Structure 1
Amino acid sequence: MFDKILIANRGEIALRVIRACREMGIQSVAVHSTADAEAMHVRMADEAVCIGPPSSTDSYLNHAAVLSACEVTGAQAIHPGYGFLSENAAFVQAVEDHGLTFIGPSAEHIRQMGDKITAKETAEKLGIPVVPGSEGGVPDLATAKKVAADMGYPVIIKATAGGGGRGMKVAATEKDIDTAFSTARSEAKAAFGNDEVYMEKYLQKPRHIEVQVFGDGKGGGVHLGERDCSLQRRHQKVFEEAPGPSISAKERARIGGICANAIAKMGYSGAGTIEFLYEDGEFYFIEMNTRLQVEHPVTEAIFGQDLVREQIRVAAGQPLSFTQDDLSVTGHAIEVRINAEKLPNFAPSPGKITQFHAPGGLGVRMDSALYDGYTIPPYYDSLIGKLIVHGRDRPEALARLWRALGEIIVDGVDTTLPLFSALLAEPDIQSGDYNIHWLEKWLAQNLED
């Protein structure tokens, strides 16, 4: 087992890893930019190293600075959290070249699943159901029109190197294809430096279902059920729950088994998430995230497993501490992502926290790096906390979420907290009857100008 782990991240996920390390008797090293000198993860870690100025490019994304911090502190492994360097194959290769351990999958698997076309081809070979679409990239408009005509409209055009909804456009009819194709390519070029796009059939009312998988890197793998992440704004998840309210135990076992077998065949190591669109009882692969997810706490709640601890164990060469037969769902969990943003337009709202009070009580977990007097810097993602609730069933989880939302206090900045209280009053949310388009439509009618 490792003696010391460096956490190449910030905020609540850095705290999450530090806590796991502390329980395991492992020393932790925090890295930080000058803007994060007073951040909670810096205060809580056993050691801290400043790695650069506020810009992520010059600090949290700086390969040399992170590796140098390992060298000066004697850290043997790096936990990337999520975002930043968590899915950067070049960084993982550099970590390995320096004789260090990356707590996550291999550079090869990150590359394989980082390109959307290669990922889809790999998934299909592994027996994972995929969305009908183009065979590889679509080089020009004429090809796009032919592929769309063969599939039938509507279609969606996506950047092969995409993420976060960028380089993604829908063409509802043939008259939309010219604009959608050119816009998707230009957005992809601007965001990722790569204008290659591919096309898929656009499903009308799907849900976003993702399966949590874990591989031991030696040909073994398990799944820990699914999460429903359908409530999204501009392709960014807002509200997640597990198990999915639309998924039966039989469907869970079927798709979970397919995913577990796939990562076992890959020889995949560590945590991963295989994401699907789900409609009319069918699952369609969209991508694989080769890292821990923001919403991993809901899975931890219903399975009673510490996924970060398991990541560390597997990276250290130890076997999985559980088998598939050991895993069973207990109750229901929901997570809401709280951002420092001003409604109704979701404009970033950095600034000083004048008062912070986390909710508590049975079945309530608050993952946040906030504290009274902390100043949220303007340089990074606006996520400031995750509120997670767990109950014996979905109605109890919803009731606990309602209670917890009434207890939490975040003063000094604007937040998205009012959004969740409003959502809980909606019959569709209470019943679990929603899809990936529901929230956008609701916001257009109720909040956004």
Structure 2
Amino acid sequence: MFNKILIANRGEIACRVIRTARRLGIATVAVYSEADANAQHVRLADEAWPIGGPRPQDSYLRGDAILEAAKQSGAQAIHPGYGFLSENADFADAVKAAGLAFIGPSGDSMRRMGSKAGAKDLMAAAGVPVVPGYTGEDQSPDLLAREAERIGFPLMIKAAHGGGGKGMRIVRSAGEFLPNLESCQREAKSAFGRDRVLLERYIESPRHIEIQVFGDSHGNAIHLGERECSAQRRYQKVLEESPSPFVTPELRAAMGAAAVQAAHAIDYANAGTVEFIVAPSGEFFFMEINTRLQVEHPVTECVTGLDLVEWQLRIAAGQPLPLAQDDIARNGHAIEVRLYAEDPDAGFLPGSGRLERLRLPPPSAHVRIDSGVVEGDTVTIFYDPMIAKLIVWDEDRPRALARLREALAQCSIEGPKSNIAFLERLVRHPAIVEASIDTGYLDRHLDDFIGSGDDAGPIAAAAAVALLQEEAATRDATARSGDPSSPWGIADGWRLGHAGQRRLVLRRADTRHDITAHGAGGEYRIEHDGNATVVAGARLAGPHLAETGLSARFDERGWRFRIDADARRILLHDGERRWRYERVPAYQAEHAGADGSGDQLVAPMPGRIVLVRVAGGDSVEQGQELLVMEAMKMELSLKAPRDGVVAQVRAAEGEFVDADASLVTLET
């Protein structure tokens, strides 16, 4: 076994590897960019070395700087994590040439799987089922269009190199093919440096099921069962579970055998994932092999009781597989979701900023948290905006889903917006509960999972919380004063000549609620937006989010909320849904939006302009795409805020722009 290893990554995977290495008595070396100088993986490792600027190409993608850090620190091996250089065959070869162990498959195995086209041909030759399509090197648009006609529609265009949902388009008619081809090639070129694509038949209503495999340098290969990853949005996984509720024992055996066959076909050693697309009939087809550890590997660990990072270390050190196929036991059901800094109501726009509050459920036998940040850390614009992975385990799927709902209810993130509310609706949706979801379901039914109106009950509850807090603060201040019996210490809003009345303002998203409250001591009449709600018996109890509660009757309906509130905002949770309100000074004036009444198109976040579609003098319609921006590993389509004529384009292709920068102005 190694004495010291270097982790060539960041975030939660770096922290994950460091913790396993520490348990095995292995010293760890972290590397970090300028943006990550105070990151958790830097603090957790035994030593840390700087490797460059904040952009990935200036740091985590610099194999030379990482190898130099390994040499200077005396590390014997390099763990690549996932992403960055984890599937870079040249880097794996360079590590080996430097006399170090690469904790992953060989460069040769990576090259054979690095091209989706070559991988499909290889798997077909090995007898692994593949989807019909075109994988040739001739990439001329005319030939690709003819091949598309031969394969038939719908079909999928996929980047031949890379993964993570980048460079993929579904095309349903010949007229849509060339525009989608150009967009796919451009995105593939930007993300992976190569614009080669392949075409394949699109399987309607498919499941995405993957098999975790392991091989060693002694010619052995086994699988550790399947993970279901069918809950996806734009090809990005949002919920993973093991075992799959769709897979029968017979299908599991067939897919497991095919996955092991695929691993043997490329002499695979270390951790890998064989991904299959599965038709409703149960017919399955090879998609690709991810030659690294997957983000969702914890669900496999939870049901097998194995530490897959430890297996990686042992195999890289030359040891044989720790167990044989028949020794692999699986128990219970595990589910994982990823908490992201993103705004689902704004097209899942990635966010960034300081985590002013980060409350996650405590780890237990049923709940696992994998995270690379703590409260006070910053989600930077330069990397993936994932905050944490939340993994739950229980004896069966219904219990695991119940655990997940409870764990999500205990989560609270302040600072950048998050996808927690989206996930809470997801795990209660019939498509998840009944295990009927396919890979396109979320994109077809996204309105089921985002956006929600303000209900009278939660608004009245938030107002009651604010009123009770004000009354408690007034009582405390009066008790500490020199006149504890002063009538001015009664916070009921009473004034000479009229009944007690208080005004407060709450804002949820872009909606302002002006509220008039009558009463005190937990007995109120709350008037807002033309509604009136009678609140009776309102009481607060408990010091923490998981314990603090508001219980009251709202127009005689009993309702209990968990609350997390301070002078600036109020978070309510009724066990199924959450509502977040900002407290606004009651007499603060409203200001016009920063967009100048729709006369400007501004950058929603920092990023690089990759395409400008208009010029000064062009007439545009509301919703028309004006520019394409690349930010936080994704392309964003920026559209006209209204009909009009372009007065000025203020950004050029290739230019890096700041958040809120004016990109296009329209004539007034």
What amino acid maps onto 1:359 in structure 2?
Answer: P
Find the aligned partners of 1:85 and 1:381 in 2 and give their Cα distance. Answer: 15
Find the aligned partners of 2:320 and 2:297 in 1 and give their Cα distance. Answer: 20
SS where residue 83 of structure 1 aligns?
Answer: coil
What do the CA deviations read for 1:347-398 (whole angstroms, capped 9, x no partner)? 2222222232331343110001222222222211101100000111100110
Partner of 2:372: 369
- Contact kept, 8 Å, 1:364 with 1:388, in 2: the verdict is yes
Q: What pairs up with 1:253-332 in 2 under 5 angstroms? A: 253-279=253-279, 280-332=281-333
- Contact kept, 8 Å, 1:219 with 1:265, in 2: the verdict is no
- Contact kept, 8 Å, 1:218 with 1:267, in 2: the verdict is no
1:158, CA displacement in angstroms?
A: 1.8
Find the aligned partners of 2:192 and 2:427 in 1 and give their Cα distance. Answer: 37
Find the aligned partners of 1:202 and 1:261 in 2 and give their Cα distance. Answer: 24
What amino acid maps onto 1:414 in structure 2?
Answer: K
SS where residue 175 of structure 1 aligns?
Answer: helix
The worse-fitting range, judged by mean Cα deviation, of 35-44 and 311-320 is: 35-44
Find the aligned partners of 2:110 and 2:162 in 1 and give their Cα distance. Answer: 14
The worse-fitting range, judged by mean Cα deviation, of 180-189 and 168-177 is: 180-189
Give the TM-score, by structure 1 length: 0.96
1:254, CA displacement in angstroms?
A: 1.2
1:138, CA displacement in angstroms?
A: 4.8
The worse-fitting range, judged by mean Cα deviation, of 140-149 and 16-25 is: 140-149
Find the aligned partners of 1:25 and 1:39 in 2 and give their Cα distance. Answer: 23
- Contact kept, 8 Å, 2:217 with 2:320, in 1: the verdict is no
Q: Determine if the alignment matches structure 1 residue 397 to structure 2 residue 400.
A: yes
- Contact kept, 8 Å, 1:223 with 1:256, in 2: the verdict is yes
SS where residue 160 of structure 2 aligns?
Answer: strand
SS where residue 325 of structure 1 aligns?
Answer: helix
The worse-fitting range, judged by mean Cα deviation, of 74-83 and 424-433 is: 424-433
The worse-fitting range, judged by mean Cα deviation, of 182-191 and 6-15 is: 182-191
Find the aligned partners of 2:367 and 2:83 in 1 and give their Cα distance. Answer: 25
Bigger RCO (CA 8 Å, 6+ sep): 1
Find the aligned partners of 2:400 and 2:409 in 1 and give their Cα distance. Answer: 14
CA 1:405–1:93 in structure 2 vs 1: closer, same or farther (change >3 Å)? Answer: same
Find the aligned partners of 2:355 and 2:139 in 1 and give their Cα distance. Answer: 49
Partner of 2:97: 97
What amino acid maps onto 2:329 in structure 1?
Answer: S
CA 1:162–1:375 in structure 2 vs 1: closer, same or farther (change >3 Å)? Answer: closer
Partner of 1:440: 443
Find the aligned partners of 2:61 and 2:88 in 1 and give their Cα distance. Answer: 10
CA 1:342–1:246 in structure 2 vs 1: closer, same or farther (change >3 Å)? Answer: same
Partner of 2:361: 359
CA 1:309–1:165 in structure 2 vs 1: closer, same or farther (change >3 Å)? Answer: same
Partner of 2:472: none
CA 1:376–1:190 in structure 2 vs 1: closer, same or farther (change >3 Å)? Answer: closer
Is the strand fraction higher in 1 or 2? Answer: 2
Find the aligned partners of 1:376 and 1:149 in 2 and give their Cα distance. Answer: 45
Partner of 1:128: 128
In the alignment of these two chains, the number of paired residues is 449
1:37, CA displacement in angstroms?
A: 1.3
Find the aligned partners of 1:186 and 1:128 in 2 and give their Cα distance. Answer: 31
CA 1:171–1:373 in structure 2 vs 1: closer, same or farther (change >3 Å)? Answer: closer
SS where residue 284 of structure 1 aligns?
Answer: strand
Q: Determine if the alignment matches structure 1 residue 419 to structure 2 residue 427.
A: no
Q: What pairs up with 1:36-435 in 2 under 5 angstroms? A: 36-279=36-279, 280-345=281-346, 346-360=348-362, 361-435=364-438
What amino acid maps onto 1:264 in structure 2?
Answer: H
What do the CA deviations read for 1:406-448 (whole angstroms, capped 9, x no partner)? 1223223221111111112211111111000111122245427
Give the TM-score, by structure 2 length: 0.65
Find the aligned partners of 1:174 and 1:371 in 2 and give their Cα distance. Answer: 49
SS where residue 398 of structure 1 aligns?
Answer: helix
- Contact kept, 8 Å, 1:167 with 1:187, in 2: the verdict is yes
What amino acid maps onto 1:57 in structure 2?
Answer: Q
SS where residue 71 of structure 2 aligns?
Answer: helix
The worse-fitting range, judged by mean Cα deviation, of 262-271 and 376-385 is: 262-271
Find the aligned partners of 2:192 and 2:257 in 1 and give their Cα distance. Answer: 34
Find the aligned partners of 1:282 and 1:41 in 2 and give their Cα distance. Answer: 42
Find the aligned partners of 2:36 and 2:336 in 1 and give their Cα distance. Answer: 26
What do the CA deviations read for 1:234-280 (whole angstroms, capped 9, x no partner)? 21111111111110111111110121133134321100001111002
What do the CA deviations read for 1:175-214 (whole angstroms, capped 9, x no partner)? 3333333433343334434332221111111011111100
Gaps of 5+ in 2: 452-622, 624-668
Q: CA RMSD in A?
A: 1.7
CA 1:150–1:261 in structure 2 vs 1: closer, same or farther (change >3 Å)? Answer: same
Find the aligned partners of 2:449 and 2:221 in 1 and give their Cα distance. Answer: 44
Find the aligned partners of 1:162 and 1:83 in 2 and give their Cα distance. Answer: 10
The worse-fitting range, judged by mean Cα deviation, of 134-143 and 90-99 is: 134-143
CA 1:317–1:439 in structure 2 vs 1: closer, same or farther (change >3 Å)? Answer: same
Find the aligned partners of 1:81 and 1:173 in 2 and give their Cα distance. Answer: 39
- Contact kept, 8 Å, 2:341 with 2:385, in 1: the verdict is yes
- Contact kept, 8 Å, 1:331 with 1:393, in 2: the verdict is yes
Is the helix fraction higher in 1 or 2? Answer: 1
What amino acid maps onto 1:384 in structure 2?
Answer: I
CA 1:358–1:283 in structure 2 vs 1: closer, same or farther (change >3 Å)? Answer: same
Partner of 1:11: 11
Find the aligned partners of 1:126 and 1:208 in 2 and give their Cα distance. Answer: 21
CA 1:193–1:7 in structure 2 vs 1: closer, same or farther (change >3 Å)? Answer: closer
SS where residue 320 of structure 2 aligns?
Answer: coil
- Contact kept, 8 Å, 2:372 with 2:387, in 1: the verdict is yes
SS where residue 223 of structure 2 aligns?
Answer: strand
- Contact kept, 8 Å, 2:422 with 2:449, in 1: the verdict is no
Find the aligned partners of 2:407 and 2:10 in 1 and give their Cα distance. Answer: 25
Find the aligned partners of 2:231 and 2:52 in 1 and give their Cα distance. Answer: 36
Find the aligned partners of 1:209 and 1:324 in 2 and give their Cα distance. Answer: 19
SS where residue 134 of structure 2 aligns?
Answer: coil
SS where residue 322 of structure 2 aligns?
Answer: coil
Find the aligned partners of 1:305 and 1:165 in 2 and give their Cα distance. Answer: 28
SS where residue 418 of structure 2 aligns?
Answer: coil
Find the aligned partners of 1:41 and 1:122 in 2 and give their Cα distance. Answer: 38
Question: Bigger radius of gyration, 1 or 2?
Answer: 2
What amino acid maps onto 1:23 in structure 2?
Answer: R
Find the aligned partners of 2:152 and 2:211 in 1 and give their Cα distance. Answer: 29
The worse-fitting range, judged by mean Cα deviation, of 410-419 and 277-286 is: 410-419
What do the CA deviations read for 1:292-321 (whole angstroms, capped 9, x no partner)? 000000000111111000000000000111
What amino acid maps onto 2:375 in structure 1?
Answer: D
- Contact kept, 8 Å, 1:138 with 1:196, in 2: the verdict is no
What amino acid maps onto 2:299 in structure 1?
Answer: V
What amino acid maps onto 1:349 in structure 2?
Answer: G
- Contact kept, 8 Å, 1:138 with 1:198, in 2: the verdict is no
Find the aligned partners of 1:445 and 1:423 in 2 and give their Cα distance. Answer: 9
Percent of matched pairs sharing the same residue? 49
